C-alpha cells in the first residue's frame, strides 16, 4: 500500500530559484526538518592554521621582494620643476589615462563617483535575481537597448578620441553579440558559457577589462608629455 | 478593530505624549549640536594664516626681456612674454591639474608634461584636456621701474603692457 | 627532555593565572576548540565552525586572508618607520635618506612597507572581483559587500596619503595632480581642496594633514570596518558556498517537487 501523503518534503537551498520557501504542515503529520548536512570543521585549529600559513607565505614573498627591490625615491620635492612624465601610483594610472581625454569634472569626479555608486548598488540590483542569461528573455527588447547603449558609448568614446577605452568596449560588445546569438544549447562550450551570463556579469567584466587595459597603457605605454612610447625603448 | 486602530493613531498624532516630547527635544538639541560642531570643525580646519610666498613678484627691469622672447620664472610659476605689441605675464600652472608647464622653443608652444595639454604663447589651448586657457596676470611697472606681476589677479587676455 | 617541557607547559596551562586569561582550558575536544574561538575577543568575530569546502584554495584563493596579512605587515612596518620620520618640510625627505643609508634595516622596512602597500591594493581589487564572480555578494551578504567597497576606498586613501610622505618629486607632483582633482567638484571644489591641503598648494600643512590621516585616522577606520567585515561573515551565514557544487544525495530536484505537488 502506498503512503497517501499529500505533501512532499524537499530540501532546497537554492535562493536564486526559490527565494522564499513555504512550509505546509498537514493535519496528520508533524513538521519535519531534513537537515541540510554539510561537512564542517572547527575553526580552531583547521582554519586558523591555514590562515597563519597563508600569511606566512605572503610575508616570505614580500620580505623577499623588499630585499631584492628598493622602493623608488627621487629628488626632493621641487615645486619649480614638474618631472616629465609625472605619473601617479600604478593603480591610479587608469584614472590618469582618462584625465588625458576628459575634463577633470568628468574623469576625476563623475566617473569615480559613478563607479563607487554602481559598486555599492550591485547587490541591491535585484531585477535579475535568477541570474538568467541577459538575452534569454525579452530578447528583442534587450537587444535594442543593448545596441543603443553600445553604439552610443562607442560613438562617444571615438568622438573624444579615446580609442584606448573604445577597443575594450568594442571587444566586450562583440562578445555580447555572440552571447545574444547563442543559447544554452549551443554547440561550442564558450557560446554556452557566454549565453548564460546576466547583465551584472557583463558590466563588471567590462569594468575589469577597461581597468586592466587603461592601467597597463598608463603604466607601460606613456612617456614624456603623456605621448605614446614603447616600454622596451626607454 | 480597524476603528480602534484609527482612533489610537489620531490621538497619537494629535497630542504629544511625554516620552515623544522629550525624545524630540533630545534629538533636536543633538542636531543643533551637530550643526555647530560641523561649523566649528570647518573653521578649525581652515588655517587663518598661510606661510605661502606673496602673490606679487618683482621680475626686474623690462629691458632685460628681449622682443619676441618667452621667459619662464619657475619659482613664481609664470611666463613673461615680450612681443612687438608689448609685455604680458602668463600663469605657468596648467589649468588642468596644476602641473607646471614648460616653454618649448623649437615648437614655439607651451607644453604640460602631465597630461599632454598644449598652449600657444598667448595661453590659448591648442590640444589636450585643459578646460581653460592659461590666465593672463595683472602686470604693471613699479615706481622703481621694475616689472611687477600679481599672480592672484587674472585679467582679460590681450591686454598688453606697453612701455 | 621533550617530555619534561611538555610537563612544564601543561603545568603552566593549568595554573590559576593561565586559566584566568585563557578560559577555554586545555583539551582537544570539540567543546574546548569551540571555546578557544568563542572566548577570545578577536577570534570570536569568526564562527567556531566553517564548511569544509571553504577551506579549498580554489573557492576563495585566500584573497581576503592575504589582504589582512598585508594590512598587518603594513601596521608593524609603519609604526616602526614612524619612529624615524618627522612630518615636516624638508626634514621628511632627509629622514627618507636617513632611513635609506643610516638607520639599520631602515631601507628594508621602507621597502617592505612600500611593496606591502602595493600588494594590498592589488589584493583588495582581486578580492573584490573574486567575490563578484563567485556571486558571494548576493543576499544576505549585500551589506558586507558595501562594507567591502568602503574598505576598498579606505585602502586607496591610505595609499594616496602615504604617497606624499617621502616628500620627493614623485610624491609632490602626484599629490598636486590628485588634489587638484578635488577642485573639479562642482560648487565646493576649491573649499575641499583648501581644507584637504590646509592651504592653496601642497606644502608643510598638507604634509602634516596627510601624515595624521595616514598614520591615525584612516588605519583606525580600516580596523573598525575590517572587524565589522569579519563579524558580518559569521552573521551572514559563513563564507558563501557556490551553488553549482555537485548535488548531495537525498536532495530533491525542484522540478520533481513541483510536479508531485500538483
Task: Provide the 3-class DSSP secondary structure of residue B161.
Answer: strand
Q: Taking a contact as any Cβ pair under 8 Å apart, which residues of chain A between 203 and 232 contact chain C? A: 204, 208, 211
Q: Which of A59, A73, A124 sits opposite C168 (nearest CB)?
A: A73
Distance CA A147, CA A127 (A): 20
Query: Inter-chain contact C177–B50, Cβ cutoff 8 Å?
Result: no
H-type helices in chain C, by residue range? 2-14, 16-21, 30-38, 57-60, 63-82, 91-101, 106-134, 142-164, 169-182, 189-197, 204-212, 218-235, 254-261
Distance CA A38, CA A212 (A): 38
For the stretch A196-214, pLDDT in tens is 888 888 889 999 999 999 9
For the residues A143-161, what does the mean pLDDT come to? 90
Query: A187 versus A16: which is more confidently predicted?
Result: A187
All three cell numbers of A219, joined, read 603604466
For the stretch C45-101, pLDDT in tens is 888 888 888 888 888 899 999 999 999 999 999 999 999 999 999 999 999 999 999
For the stretch A88-123, pLDDT in tens is 888 888 888 888 888 888 888 899 999 999 899 888
Query: Inter-chain contact A82–B102, Cβ cutoff 8 Å?
Result: yes
Q: Which residues of C touch A123 (CB under 8 A)?
A: 137-139, 141-142, 145-146
Would you mind telling me the total number of residues written for chain C in this entry?
262
Q: What 8-state DSSP symbol labels residue A226?
A: G
Task: Provide the 3-class DSSP secondary structure of residue B86.
Answer: strand
Confidence of residue A11 (pLDDT cuts 50, 70, 90): low
Domain ranges of chain B: 2-45, 56-155
Name the nearest CA neighbour of A85 among A99, A68, A102, A71: A99
pLDDT at B13: 57
Subunits next to C (3 or more Cβ pairs <8 Å) are A, B
Write down the mean pLDDT value for chain C. 87
Query: Inter-chain contact C115–A62, Cβ cutoff 8 Å?
Result: yes
Q: CA of C107: which chain A residue's CA is closest?
A: A70
Order of strands across the sheet with B102-104?
Answer: B102-104, B109-111, B118-119, B125-127
pLDDT tens for each residue of chain C, 262 residues long: 568 998 998 888 888 888 888 887 777 888 888 888 888 888 888 888 888 888 888 888 999 999 999 999 999 999 999 999 999 999 999 999 999 999 999 999 999 999 999 999 999 999 999 999 888 888 788 899 999 999 999 999 999 999 999 999 989 998 988 888 888 888 888 899 999 999 888 999 999 999 999 999 999 999 999 999 999 999 888 888 765 444 444 444 443 344 444 3
pLDDT at C254: 42
Domain ranges of chain A: 39-71, 90-226
> What domains lie within chain C, and their CATH numbers?
58-235 (1.20.810.10)
For the stretch C56-67, pLDDT in tens is 888 889 999 999
B56-155 in CATH: which number? Answer: 2.102.10.10
- Please check whether residue A109 is in contact with residue C204, taking contact to mean a CB–CB distance below 8 angstroms: no
Nearby residues of A7 by Cβ (< 8 Å), 6 or more positions away: A24, A26, A29, C261
Q: CA of C176: which chain B residue's CA is closest?
A: B98
Q: Which of B74, B114, B129 sits opposite A101 (nearest CB)?
A: B129
Query: Inter-chain contact A227–B116, Cβ cutoff 8 Å?
Result: yes
- The pTM of the full predicted model, rounded to 2 decimals, is 0.86
Amino acid at each position: 500500500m502506498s503512503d497517501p501523503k499529500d505533501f512532499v518534503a524537499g530540501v532546497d537551498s537554492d535562493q536564486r530559484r526559490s527565494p522564499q520557501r513555504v512550509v505546509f504542515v498537514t493535519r496528520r503529520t508533524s513538521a519535519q526538518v531534513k537537515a541540510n548536512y554539510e561537512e564542517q570543521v572547527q575553526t580552531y585549529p583547521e582554519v586558523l592554521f591555514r590562515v597563519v600559513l597563508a600569511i606566512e607565505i605572503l610575508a616570505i614573498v614580500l620580505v623577499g621582494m623588499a630585499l631584492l627591490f628598493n622602493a623608488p625615491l627621487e629628488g626632493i620635492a621641487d615645486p619649480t620643476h614638474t618631472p616629465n612624465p609625472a605619473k601617479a601610483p600604478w593603480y591610479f594610472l587608469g584614472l590618469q589615462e582618462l584625465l588625458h581625454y576628459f575634463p577633470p569634472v568628468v574623469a576625476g569626479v563623475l566617473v569615480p563617483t559613478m563607479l563607487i555608486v554602481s559598486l555599492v548598488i550591485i547587490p541591491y540590483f535585484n531585477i535579475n535575481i535568477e541570474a538568467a542569461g541577459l538575452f534569454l528573455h525579452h530578447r528583442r527588447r534587450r537587444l535594442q537597448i543593448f545596441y543603443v547603449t553600445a553604439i552610443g558609448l562607442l560613438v562617444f568614446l571615438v568622438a573624444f578620441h579615446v580609442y584606448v577605452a573604445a577597443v575594450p568596449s568594442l571587444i566586450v560588445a562583440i562578445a555580447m553579440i555572440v552571447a545574444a546569438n547563442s543559447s544554452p544549447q549551443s554547440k561550442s562550450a564558450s557560446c554556452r558559457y557566454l549565453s548564460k551570463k546576466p547583465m551584472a556579469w557583463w558590466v563588471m567584466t567590462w569594468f575589469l577589462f577597461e581597468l586592466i587595459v587603461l592601467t597597463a597603457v598608463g603604466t607601460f605605454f606613456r612617456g614624456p608629455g603623456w605621448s605614446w612610447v614603447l616600454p622596451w625603448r626607454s | 478593530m480597524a476603528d480602534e486602530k484609527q482612533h489610537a493613531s489620531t490621538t497619537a498624532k494629535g497630542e504629544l505624549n511625554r516620552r515623544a516630547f522629550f525624545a524630540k527635544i533630545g534629538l533636536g538639541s543633538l542636531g543643533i549640536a551637530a550643526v555647530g560642531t560641523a561649523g566649528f570643525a570647518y573653521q578649525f580646519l581652515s588655517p587663518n594664516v598661510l606661510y605661502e610666498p606673496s602673490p606679487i613678484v618683482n621680475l626686474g627691469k623690462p629691458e632685460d626681456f628681449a622682443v619676441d622672447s618667452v621667459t619662464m620664472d619657475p619659482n613664481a610659476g609664470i611666463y613673461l612674454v615680450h612681443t612687438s605689441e608689448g609685455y604680458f605675464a602668463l600663469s605657468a600652472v596648467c589649468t588642468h591639474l596644476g602641473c607646471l608647464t614648460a616653454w618649448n622653443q623649437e615648437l614655439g608652444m607651451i607644453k604640460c608634461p602631465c597630461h599632454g595639454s598644449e598652449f600657444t604663447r598667448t595661453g590659448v589651448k591648442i590640444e589636450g584636456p585643459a578646460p581653460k586657457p592659461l590666465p593672463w596676470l595683472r602686470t604693471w611697472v613699479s615706481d622703481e621701474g621694475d616689472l611687477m606681476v600679481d599672480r592672484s589677479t587674472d585679467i582679460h587676455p590681450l591686454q598688453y603692457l606697453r612701455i | 627532555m621533550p617530555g619534561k617541557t611538555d610537563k612544564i607547559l601543561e603545568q603552566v596551562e593549568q595554573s590559576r593565572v593561565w586559566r584566568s586569561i585563557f578560559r577555554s582550558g586545555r583539551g582537544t575536544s570539540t567543546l574546548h576548540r569551540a571555546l578557544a574561538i568563542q572566548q577570545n575577543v578577536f577570534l570570536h568575530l569568526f564562527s567556531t565552525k566553517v564548511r569544509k569546502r571553504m577551506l579549498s584554495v580554489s573557492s576563495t584563493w585566500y584573497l581576503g586572508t592575504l589582504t589582512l596579512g598585508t594590512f598587518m605587515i603594513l601596521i608593524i612596518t609603519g609604526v616602526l618607520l614612524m619612529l624615524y620620520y618627522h612630518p615636516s618640510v624638508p626634514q621628511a625627505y632627509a629622514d627618507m635618506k636617513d632611513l635609506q643609508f643610516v638607520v639599520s634595516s631602515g631601507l628594508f622596512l621602507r621597502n617592505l612597507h612600500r611593496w606591502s602597500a602595493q600588494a594590498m591594493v592589488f589584493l583588495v581589487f582581486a578580492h573584490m572581483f573574486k567575490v563578484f564572480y563567485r556571486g558571494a555578494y548576493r543576499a544576505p551578504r549585500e551589506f558586507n559587500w558595501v562594507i567591502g567597497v568602503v574598505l576598498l576606498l579606505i585602502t586607496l586613501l591610505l595609499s594616496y596619503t602615504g604617497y606624499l610622505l617621502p616628500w620627493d618629486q614623485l610624491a609632490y607632483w602626484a599629490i598636486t595632480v590628485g588634489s587638484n582633482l578635488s577642485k573639479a567638484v562642482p560648487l565646493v571644489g576649491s573649499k575641499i581642496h583648501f581644507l584637504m591641503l590646509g592651504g592653496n598648494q601642497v606644502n608643510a600643512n598638507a604634509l602634516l594633514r596627510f601624515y595624521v590621516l595616514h598614520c591615525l585616522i584612516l588605519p583606525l577606520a580600516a580596523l573598525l570596518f575590517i572587524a565589522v567585515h569579519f563579524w558580518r561573515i559569521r552573521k551572514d551565514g559563513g563564507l558563501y558556498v557556490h551553488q553549482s557544487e555537485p548535488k548531495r544525495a537525498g536532495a530533491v530536484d525542484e522540478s520533481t517537487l513541483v510536479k508531485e505537488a500538483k
